[in-house]
Chain A
Amino acid sequence: MAETLFFSLIVGLFVGFSAGYLGSIMVLEKMALVGDALSHVALPGLALGLLMGFNPFFGAFAFLFTSAVIIWHLGRVTKLSFETLVGTVFTLALAIGILLVPEPELLEALFGDITSVGLTDAVVAVAISIIVVLVSRLIYKKIVLGLISEELAISKGINVAQTNLLYLLLVSLTVAIGIKITGTLLVGFLVVTPAAAARTISTNLSRYFRLSSIFGVASSVSGILLSNYLNFLPGPLVVLSGVVVFIVAVMVRWLKGLPT
């Protein structure tokens, strides 16, 4: 039991950090709902993993990766926003996933079960989190400059389309590992709420990225600990912890009188 809790906390720590870090870009991109909707795309992949006996993480990632590439390409061709495109595919993926996932596993897939985390899961989550954060650090300036002005970014030699694709792939990876903690229904939270809380009280990027990562860790670790003590599913408790952080951030902003 203690070993499982230890692995769970390691996963929570690293995934919370990387999801918070990456999510901060997503909130800037005004793509918050993309992370949420994209997470549902993982469900058919999880189902295939469960049905065919391979690690569901790989199934989830394969579906997320493929969807991200398709959405990115459609975005370039149609000029529709990511949100619109994700919205058109995610409900379909959710429906297929629910039809495919065997009923006993459906609850785990939808809401996560960190109590089943083993050494392999922990190693994969740690390795992927580190890669995600390192690559995000390399591209975050490019993404932010592209958001401030796409033309300015292009004139500095930045390939905005390629950077966006790389970013979507990082989101896919993070969502795939985050599913273990919160499940597909709630994993969107991990990339959105810590960043939203950090945005509320940040006036520069470095503070924003730092706070978002810290809030991600705080939400996931406290949610997992609460889950262990209260014997509830971790996903909803992680979300509740994060919402408390968000409310505190809003109050801090109000008390400090930050400009609107």
Chain B
Amino acid sequence: MESADSYILSVSDLSVDISGQKILDHITFKIRKGTTLAIVGPNGAGKTTLFKALLNLVNYTGKIEWSEKVKIGYVPQTLSVRYIPTSLREFLSFNSMLYFDRVTASVGLDSREVLDKSLDALSGGQLRRVLIAWAIIDKPDVLLFDEPTNGIDVGSEEAIYGMLKRLTAENNITLLLISHDLHIVREYSDQVLALNKCMVLFGDSKGVMGPSTQKLIYGEPVCTEFGEVHG
């Protein structure tokens, strides 16, 4: 039996209403330090809103408790880089220069030529690696990553997730990531939280590939009230 303080985040009964509309309804879950939680669900299920609640960017009811004072990093789905003449070096420097050389090397973006490129001249895969570098460069304790491989080809996807998993493990970062790909969820996360306004599943991610689980996640929502359901 593990002690309660090994949990870095405890969320209980979390609900979010925006303009009178229920976006999240009584969500309860806990995650342990250094693990990866994948958040899945159909479009409009409240996944990004959950991140916003964790970042305190929206009003919510219920409890969000961090076990310690944590530094939270957040990476959104997309960047609007067109028309902004910002080099990769400049962009990362907006966050931190503390581990600049190490981090750019670890994501394979350390050549001078690439660092001096404008963000809008980077490929989709390079841009995702830039986001990973951005995310880890100031050593967060917790990282919220919204669809890390949004808009890139399947071949590069595995490489990006592999890199993310390695870097978060090396730096003992607790990772919460939103993904649509259940295969990726099974391979690269420890636990899965399925949302469809309410919580439809929370448990070990190894079990999410079964047809019944997929139906549960993407079918008519069947809400669960419990904090830990092993799927």
Contact = CB atoms under 8 A, between A and B. Distances in A.
Nearest to B86: A205
B87 A204 contact: yes
B99 interface: no
Nearest to A153: B94
Given A149-B79, A151-B76, A204 B90 contact: yes
A222 B94 CA distance: 36
A124 interface: no
Contacts of A100: none
B224 interface: no
Contacts of A30: 83
Contacts, number: 63
A156 interface: yes
A120 interface: no
A205 B81 CA distance: 12
Interface stretch (A6-14, A139-147, A173-181, A239-247): A139-147
Given A155-B55, A259-B121, A147 B80 contact: yes
B14 interface: no
B4 interface: no
Interface in A195-210: 199, 202-208
Contacts of B134: 152
Interface in A132-174: 141, 144-145, 147-149, 151-152, 154-156
A199 B85 contact: yes
Contact of A141 (B94, B118, B119): B94
A148 B72 contact: no
Contact of B72 (A145, A152, A155): A155
Given A203-B118, A205-B87, A144 B94 contact: yes
Interface residues on A, range: 20 to 34
In this complex, which of B52, B74, B81 has the most chain A Cβ atoms within 10 angstroms of its Cβ?
A: B74
Given A141-B94, A145-B94, A202 B85 contact: yes
Contact of B95 (A144, A147, A156, A259): A156
A95 interface: no
B86 A204 contact: yes
Nearest to B120: A259
Contacts of B116: 203-204
Given A144-B84, A147-B84, A152 B121 contact: no
A28 interface: yes
B111 to A, nearest CB: 16
In this complex, which of B57, B118, B121 has the most chain A Cβ atoms within 10 angstroms of its Cβ?
A: B118
Contacts of B57: 151, 154-155
B117 interface: yes
A203 B81 contact: no
B75 interface: yes
B86 to A, nearest CB: 5
B81 A148 contact: yes
B121 A148 contact: no
Interface in B192-221: none
Interface in B93-121: 94-95, 116-119, 121
A228 B80 CA distance: 44
A20 to B, nearest CB: 15
Given A155-B74, A203-B118, 6 more contacts: A147-B80, A147-B84, A148-B91, A151-B57, A152-B75, A203-B87
Closest 3 CB pairs of A and B: A155-B74, A204-B87, A203-B118
